[in-house]
């Protein structure tokens, strides 16, 4: 695909998205690495959505399975956690874009019927049917790179000749496959998936060279909020990674990333507004 991911059309849930869009994290899990279950309860989850929308979130990303190792969550339990949440958010906020963080086609089909607009496959395509589900329902799809790791596992001595080249090869192939299945071109994004199948050095390399992903022509999503690579690089625990997160968001935005998955919506919105002002002033 030729072009520039900075300006490629991006349309989700019937909305045309502009230069910078905020995706707010909503964890319907009792064991999230960041909030430790603060939004696991249904009412708490809806209250968090209300706050995120009020603070300027364009997209709500609902996840029912912790990314890292932990208690097993089967399909039935994931469905229990996310389907009713999607339906409630759709009713409560008709204009917001709803994303669901899942790698399972069965879950993707159910949330599509409940009102989701986007499937966020952070594990890089372990269920090849997920793209077909997105196509069937006219949903968007995030195509990520996780080094072909099994979902919910951590990388162990993972190596790449060139991590950015490996990421680009995988995510663009996944995007082209989804396009061939019928997912609309303007509803496809690519995500390097920092920390997924990567160590800190590799995640930092991706951040430094993110412009190479933008140059593929596909809109780029970055999900770096409070992640381990920021903590390890700066020597900060999870609750002290906010400033580092904003720094990586700024670096990513300057290079052309389009969608930013975050825990702190207001902070991210402020940071991205200032990045755009600084960049435009430098022209």
Domain ranges of the chain: 11-281
pLDDT tens, residue by residue, 74-121: 999 999 999 999 999 999 999 999 999 999 999 999 999 999 999 999
pLDDT tens, residue by residue, 159-191: 999 999 999 999 999 999 999 999 999 999 999
Q: Has residue 199 got a pLDDT over 90?
A: yes
Region 237-266 average pLDDT: 97
User: For strand 11-12 and strand 15-16, is the pairing parallel, antiparallel, or unpaired?
Assistant: antiparallel
Region 236-243 average pLDDT: 96
283 falls in which pLDDT band (50, 70, 90)?
low
Domain 11-281: what homologous superfamily? Dihydropteroate synthase-like (3.20.20.20)
Q: Has residue 261 got a pLDDT over 90?
A: yes
Structure tokens at 67: 């990314």
What is the spatial distance between Cα 40 and Cα 21, in angstroms, rounded to a whole number? 25
Q: For the chain, what percent of residues have pLDDT higher than 90?
A: 91
Strand-pair partners of 16: 11
pLDDT tens, residue by residue, 137-148: 999 999 999 998
Q: Has residue 155 got a pLDDT over 90?
A: no
pLDDT tens, residue by residue, 14-55: 999 999 999 999 999 999 888 889 999 999 999 999 999 999
3 falls in which pLDDT band (50, 70, 90)?
confident
- Mean pLDDT (the chain) is 96
Question: Are residues 188 and 233 in contact, defined by beta-carbon separation less than 8 angstroms?
Answer: no
Give the pLDDT confidence score for residue 163 in this predicted structure.
98
For the chain, how long is the longest CA-to-CA vector?
52
pLDDT tens, residue by residue, 264-280: 999 999 999 999 999 88
Closest CA to 163 of 192, 131, 186, 183: 192
């Amino acid at each position: 695909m030729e072009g520039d991911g900075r300006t490629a059309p991006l349309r989700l849930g019937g909305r045309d998205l502009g230069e910078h869009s905020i995706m707010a994290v909503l964890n319907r899990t009792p064991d999230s690495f960041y909030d430790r279950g603060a939004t696991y309860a249904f009412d708490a989850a809806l209250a968090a959505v209300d706050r995120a929308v009020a603070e300027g979130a364009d997209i709500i990303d609902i996840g029912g399975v912790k990314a890292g190792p932990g208690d097993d969550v089967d399909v039935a339990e994931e469905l229990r956690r996310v389907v009713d949440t999607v339906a409630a958010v759709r009713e409560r906020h008709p204009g917001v874009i709803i994303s669901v963080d899942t790698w399972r086609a069965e879950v993707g089909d159910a949330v599509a019927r409940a009102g989701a607009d986007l499937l966020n496959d952070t594990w890089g395509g372990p269920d090849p049917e997920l793209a077909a589900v997105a196509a069937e329902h006219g949903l968007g799809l995030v195509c990520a790179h996780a080094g072909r790791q099994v979902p919910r596992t951590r990388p162990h001595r993972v190596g790449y000749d060139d991590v950015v080249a490996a990421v680009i090869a995988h995510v663009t192939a996944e995007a082209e496959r989804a396009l061939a299945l019928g997912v609309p071109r303007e509803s496809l994004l690519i995500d390097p998936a920092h920390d997924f199948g990567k160590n800190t050095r590799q995640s930092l390399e991706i951040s430094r060279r993110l412009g190479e992903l933008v140059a593929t022509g596909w809109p780029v999503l970055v999900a770096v909020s409070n992640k381990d690579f920021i903590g390890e690089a700066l020597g900060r625990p999870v609750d002290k990674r906010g400033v580092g997160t904003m720094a990586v968001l700024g670096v990513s935005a300057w290079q052309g990333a389009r969608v930013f998955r975050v825990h702190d919506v207001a902070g991210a919105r402020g940071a991205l507004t200032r990045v755009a002002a600084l960049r435009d002033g430098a022209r």
